Structure 1
């Protein structure tokens, strides 16, 4: 991270560029570039992703049945999301649907995955900003600082609940991090009665912990007047965008299966479609200063990094999922959603919530719902049925798998030939959906907080809080457009002056 903006006696100029590199508490790499004008106010700020992974290209030529293993390596935080989206796409390439038992096992696995991921983000990545405070010393803004303030008992409960969520994934998928769960039209292993009892015990504890986490958020954030002034400040963490999320046939919250629903700035349904048709509804733009693309709704289209009804930029996040659903499918989460919407309404929110930092609140409500869903699934004795896979499958064709990753709507799109070899691959991942809104949030917060060359570490952390609410995963969000990647090479003379600039966009 660049130091404070000061007068440089050697150059006789004031530093006008502040770089936060690396940015902290996220998966992957990124940086923030802030440019100041002559008055020391922010002229512009950029959320920049300087890394390239290129998974889409080297999936081509592999067996399609390998892709739920390969793409799970995109991310160490949400491999389960990529595994399941890939598995659903593989189903499509084989023109197969999972058996009822396989669907139930996948659902239990995935809801446990959501719980483990949300625990990791809320307590290790987001909570330091609220429990320790946005301006706390950097050495204290971490999970140890959080435990120091909330106590060892809660810290131990965090570790236990996350471990149990991962253990359910391991029971069902063979491994907790890079699962071996999915096969075309089914899953790889059946569930025993002993495994069911273990999972019930774990899921019951996960639900109790999720309820505790909701109370922690109420105690630490909702009851803190100063924090709520930050959370509900329209001049900082606020943008009026469209919102996207999966819903079931009752328009209830869903993470595993369903249709993609988009609502506008007033909460009206704008679009609702099957994931297979996603390319009819969204497209991706690129900018020369980042490797991460900018998805947008084809109608109204890409107008740059601006919000409003005329801009096709949308968000796909926990906040978005609560905006797009009419209700929750489980009772405790529904009660929490009603309380959430009631408090927001009392604070002047009429329609979808557009306050970015409320994403943390939405994430906890999702944790409650997914813990409830996981418990329902593992208690269902149909999970013991041995009919776990389809047989006599023939590859060939296109499959599109879509789930809600913890970070947003995740789509895997594969085409394979009659030998099961991948001929085309496209992925739109959760973080990529949010790239435009993240950029807008970072710029808006920087412009709202930094003035007169006053760039303190606390203020820079509040700029970072703009992206941290989205729980971005840059590891899986960076892909090149087919064929080549944007590149700018700057050649400098020995005195630092620019000799030549070569660009490929």
Structure 2
């Protein structure tokens, strides 16, 4: 008889989901997966709205990554209007976004994954939380939450608001930065750089300790896959502008394309048992692929900043290049925090930061596609806009959707290494959750079209099925 173990809800992730693990009579794994059981439906909500409201409305999709949607929407409107924002606007948008990335990655590492890294995946669930982290390592907790705050301050000063920014608009940015704001921002960046002197070795030490204590995480938690991310023309890592690069499992570039061409390479499909769509890449067949920090670290020809590049070299020394380790995604987030702090300093020293920040726009009807690298991976906004400036269709492809197949593979690997064949131990189930947290999934963002969802209802009494019906 198959035994089913459920983790419901999955904790310390953004959104609501549950995990199922089916074991056979011998306790071996039959199947496992992540079921996303919330519905946002923004692709339908946006239809009929004024296009110029998209940067503000789509930011409300999620309170964790609103800046990503804010800027992706602006880029889609730029494309629809056929305009290129001035250099100062491009730099300010990027600076806003770097603050957001620092904030988001720090939240993931120190608040969501921190209890597992500091206390261990087999620690008492009652203590395995951010309060436990503060008690166990107060200095590290202070530094982690401190750099998260600095990222949010940068995001807020440039974006006008921290949680739902308002300053980016079609055609650029709605303000001009002054020298005083530049001075304050530079001070925050310098403070973040000082914090990293202690944060980087501390996080690496915790990560390596976990690998030593759980060899299966190092040896078996490997998901070879293709990767998708954004680079500049010379191959340098980019988050907010550039072309899309698709690499295979060996790291070979298999395609490079612009955002408007995404539907020639990415194929969405509905999963009948989850509200989240999955996505595969299509190049000589269909392939599961990875987006996010590890994918970006794998596919970029260079990072473009000294300290981040040195840490990337260290990451690859731990395994192979490209890396396919689930746990190394945490290291990749740390590298991107380093990179974001370094890149923010470069922008604040750029004289073009003080130029004009906006060009006129006019909605003429047609399609607009914008993309950027959200903290969790590549994000697309695709709008059809009529001549009156009204959105008539919208498609959003979220990073977590693109990682969905790999998340399910990681759930299976964690179930095999920490659950299957073992006596019941609730603490061991946290290893499965930790595998999911490595992807930092944002399920609130994983929108799904309304309608057409298959459903099955099973009614049981005393463990016996008495009625089954569905559609």
SS at match of 2:318: helix
Residue 146 of structure 1 is aligned with which of 117, 125, 133?
A: 133
Query: Comparing 155-164 with 60-69, which one deviates more in the overlay?
Result: 155-164
In 2, Cα distance between equivalents of 1:485 and 1:188: 41
TM-score of the aligned structures, taking structure 2 as reference length: 0.95
In 2, Cα distance between equivalents of 1:246 and 1:225: 30
In 1, Cα distance between equivalents of 2:390 and 2:163: 26
Residue 62 of structure 1 is aligned with which of 17, 31, 49?
A: 49
Residue 206 of structure 1 is aligned with which of 189, 192, 199?
A: 192
User: What are the Cα deviations for residues 304-358 of structure 1, in whole angstroms up to 9, with x where unaligned?
Assistant: xxxxxxxx110102111111112211111111112222333xxxx2x31111110
Task: Decide whether aligned partners of structure 1 residues 66 and 131 sit closer, same or farther in structure 2, where only a CA change above 3 A counts.
Answer: same
In 1, Cα distance between equivalents of 2:214 and 2:353: 43
Retained in 2: the 8 A contact 1:246–1:255?
A: yes
Residue 484 of structure 1 is aligned with which of 428, 431, 451?
A: 451
> Match for residue 430 of structure 1?
399
> Match for residue 229 of structure 1?
215
In 1, Cα distance between equivalents of 2:395 and 2:162: 26
In 1, Cα distance between equivalents of 2:403 and 2:163: 25
Structure 1 gap segments, 5+ residues each: 1-13, 303-311
What is the CA-CA distance between 1:448 and the residue it aligns to?
3.0
What is the CA-CA distance between 1:156 and the residue it aligns to?
2.4
In 1, Cα distance between equivalents of 2:20 and 2:398: 24
> Match for residue 322 of structure 1?
297
What is the CA-CA distance between 1:218 and the residue it aligns to?
2.3
Retained in 2: the 8 A contact 1:107–1:256?
A: yes
> Match for residue 4 of structure 1?
none
User: What are the Cα deviations for residues 219-262 of structure 1, in whole angstroms up to 9, with x where unaligned?
Assistant: 2222566247244212xx11111111111112122111111111
SS at match of 2:367: strand
Task: Decide whether aligned partners of structure 1 residues 137 and 479 sit closer, same or farther in structure 2, where only a CA change above 3 A counts.
Answer: same
> Match for residue 82 of structure 2?
95
> Match for residue 331 of structure 2?
361
> Match for residue 7 of structure 1?
none
Retained in 2: the 8 A contact 1:414–1:425?
A: yes
1:33 maps to 2:1: no
Retained in 2: the 8 A contact 1:48–1:290?
A: yes
After the TM superposition, which residues 71-82 of structure 1 pair with which residues of structure 2 at under 5 Å, given as runs?
71-82=58-69
Query: Comparing 35-44 with 133-142, which one deviates more in the overlay?
Result: 35-44
What is the CA-CA distance between 1:65 and the residue it aligns to?
1.0
Task: Decide whether aligned partners of structure 1 residues 224 and 53 sit closer, same or farther in structure 2, where only a CA change above 3 A counts.
Answer: closer
> Match for residue 455 of structure 1?
424
1:216 maps to 2:202: yes
Structure 2 gap segments, 5+ residues each: none
In 2, Cα distance between equivalents of 1:252 and 1:227: 36
Retained in 2: the 8 A contact 1:213–1:364?
A: no
What is the CA-CA distance between 1:141 and the residue it aligns to?
1.6
> Match for residue 362 of structure 2?
393
> Match for residue 267 of structure 2?
283
What is the CA-CA distance between 1:393 and the residue it aligns to?
2.8
Task: Decide whether aligned partners of structure 1 residues 493 and 451 sit closer, same or farther in structure 2, where only a CA change above 3 A counts.
Answer: closer
Retained in 1: the 8 A contact 2:81–2:361?
A: no
What is the CA-CA distance between 1:147 and the residue it aligns to?
2.0
After the TM superposition, which residues 300-379 of structure 1 pair with which residues of structure 2 at under 5 Å, given as runs?
300-302=284-286, 312-344=287-319, 349=320, 351-379=321-349
> Match for residue 110 of structure 2?
123
1:244 maps to 2:212: no
Residue 248 of structure 2 is aligned with which of 251, 258, 264?
A: 264
User: What are the Cα deviations for residues 397-426 of structure 1, in whole angstroms up to 9, with x where unaligned?
Assistant: 211111110001111111101111001110
Task: Decide whether aligned partners of structure 1 residues 491 and 154 sit closer, same or farther in structure 2, where only a CA change above 3 A counts.
Answer: closer
Task: Decide whether aligned partners of structure 1 residues 437 and 423 sit closer, same or farther in structure 2, where only a CA change above 3 A counts.
Answer: same
In 1, Cα distance between equivalents of 2:211 and 2:382: 45
SS at match of 2:256: strand
Aligned pairs, number:
470
Retained in 2: the 8 A contact 1:221–1:228?
A: no
